[in-house]
Amino acid sequence: MACIEEEKLDRFHQWLQVNGVDLRGCKIKYCDSSKGFGIYSAKDAPDGVLLVVPLDLAITPMRVLQDPLLGPECRAMYEEGDVDDRFLMMLFLTVERLRKNSTWKPYLDMLPTTFGNPLWFTDDELSELKGTNLYRATELQKKKLVSLYEDKVKGLVKKLLILDGDSESEACFEDFLWANSVFWARALNIPLPYSYVFPRTQEDQDISCLAEKTSEVSTSHISGGESINGKNEKGLEVHEVDSKVNEVTSVSRQGETIWVEGLVPAIDFCNHDLKAVATWEVDGTGSITGVPSSMYLLSAGQSSLPVEREISISYGDKGNEELLYLYGFVIDNNPDDYLMVHYPIEAIQKISFSESKAQLLEAQKAEMRCLLPRSLLAQGFFPAGFSNNKESNTCNVERSCHFSWSGQRKTPSYLNKLVFPEDFLTALRTIAMQEDELYKVSSMLEELVGSGGERQPSETEVRAAMWEACGDSGALQLLVDLLNKKLMDLEESSGTEDRDSELLQTACIIGSPQQKTSKNANTSNQHELISRNRWSSIVYRRGQKELTRLFLKEAEHALQLSIAGGN
């Protein structure tokens, strides 16, 4: 490790010590060019507690609102609903990066200056993602961040720096992009004691009231969609600008626990591994660590860790789409990879009887998209080579519509092998239905609830009528069409899955140990030197092509069985 890196690490260790961080059984050291710094075991920790960090050191929305420089300006904006919790932390990181005498400098100097997520890709590297969900999502998010920077961040940062006595420093978009990437790659969803978040003093109560507000402005990576948890719990569904990562910071009250997103220096140097050797926990009372209101790193195994073993945690069961988008890395042959399939909402307006179908979709609470984890294939028609050891990854194929008005529509023999969620098939069944089927559904529901409309049919009743009238063949044919279109889009710019495999076999990542070995052995001419970003893109898109092909095979077989069985 270069001398300058050693100096930064020494200053950081001193800073941690001054701020009450206790490295009991570990140390922070440089890993490699792909990981940066990581945490390694240093000595035996009998109780399994490897690292303790006071939560007063965490960068949270409450800290920003109480900051002498940022607090007054941010409180006014927060009260008006102009910004959300995540924006506050990104603003804090941007300003502290530019402040000449920031007390956070030893920590910030340890953080990466660039990232491997697609927002940092060159145009050539980004072109490797064409046809994937991430390509469009990255384009949209980049525009969104530029707009946010120009409209809110640039002038505000300049104003705050002037208030701090610095009239010379200028922020640039890359400073805000850096802060955005730091937050998404390192933030945790921290369960804090209620009394810690909402202190009893009147001044702090006023601040806490602001933190309790539900923000309306989101600076999330991909807007819309569902919420996520923290670094080891985040989930992502990317389609254009849709995602699971997108609601504002959760400050939801659960008894005496308040969930708040934040950065915890030292803990955030833990890298991800599928076989994690540690977890992080919060000690509210100090009964475990001796430090009240602290976060600690706990060894996951019963036996002590060997010295110099990297201490990794799990960021959760994440596919490469999410890992690349948030954290800037991928896992080759990722067992947690998934495929997102959707029917474009805007396309509904162009189909026949769109208004009636839209009403039926709403009545059935149908889903217009679905996530298909790789593990689902173990339950399908072609399970060879796949295993599913995760109870949570079971596909919901149970139907509440086994009732048949005529008695002619039987439960399909293939139902227990169908890997596609019923909520999504319900949407496709509704979209694909023909005029005569729509008439049948209307007649059955009218027969059920009465012509006078004395009551509204239930979700279960509408689904039962849809199943009776339509069966599965229309939905499965539409699903086959969607998957064929997805595969065509993936292959249009970058070729086939086999082509990607060939590229990866001959690829040598610039700066990797493999490249150094190749140079020493004079075999570099056998490999094609590529950037890590390009390598990550190829691994990700190859996985998407493979999953699309495999789920397409499942859908085509189900369609054949459906037609043969009269469904």
> To which residue do tokens 């092509």 refer?
545
Q: Which helix (H) or strand (E) holds 539?
A: helix 532-564
CA distances from 357 to 97, 243, 367, 421 (A): 52, 25, 13, 19
Beta bridge partners, 258, equal 192, 253
Across-strand partners of 188?
Answer: 262
Pairing relationship of beta strands 188-193 and 369-373 according to DSSP bridges: unpaired
Residue 306 Cα to chain centre, angstroms: 32
Q: How far from chain centre, in Å, is Cα 314?
A: 13
How would you class 384 by CB atoms within 10 Å of its CB: exposed for 0-12, middle for 13-18, buried for 19 or more?
Answer: exposed
Q: Are 296 and 280 in contact (CB under 8 A)?
A: yes
In tens digits, the chain (567 residues) has pLDDT values of 567 788 999 999 999 999 999 999 999 998 887 788 999 999 888 899 999 999 999 999 999 999 999 999 999 998 888 899 999 999 999 999 999 999 999 999 999 999 999 999 999 999 999 999 999 999 999 999 999 999 999 999 999 999 999 999 999 999 999 999 999 999 999 998 887 787 665 444 554 455 454 333 333 343 333 332 334 444 333 333 333 333 334 444 445 788 999 999 999 999 999 899 999 999 999 999 999 999 999 998 867 788 889 999 999 999 999 999 999 999 999 999 999 999 998 999 899 999 999 999 999 999 999 999 999 999 999 997 776 655 544 444 455 454 555 556 778 889 999 999 999 999 999 999 999 999 999 999 888 887 666 788 999 999 999 999 999 999 999 999 999 999 999 999 999 999 999 999 999 998 766 665 555 545 455 788 999 999 999 999 999 999 999 999 999 999 999 999 877
Per-residue tokens: 314: 């799990």
- The pLDDT assigned to 407 comes to 59
Of 33, 12, 31, 32, which is closest to residue 23 (Cα–Cα)? 12
**φ, ψ (nearest 5 deg) of residue 539:** -60, -45
Distance separating alpha carbons of residues 160 and 378, to the nearest angstrom: 56
Pairing assessment for the beta strands 528-530 and 507-509 based on DSSP bridges: parallel
Two tokens at 267?
A: 């803990």
- As a whole number of angstroms, the distance between CA 90 and CA 106 comes to 18
Other beta carbons less than 10 A from residue 46's beta carbon: 8
How far apart, in Å, are the Cα atoms of 266 and each of 20, 21, 27, 154?
A: 11, 8, 10, 29
Residue 16's identity, in one-letter code, is L
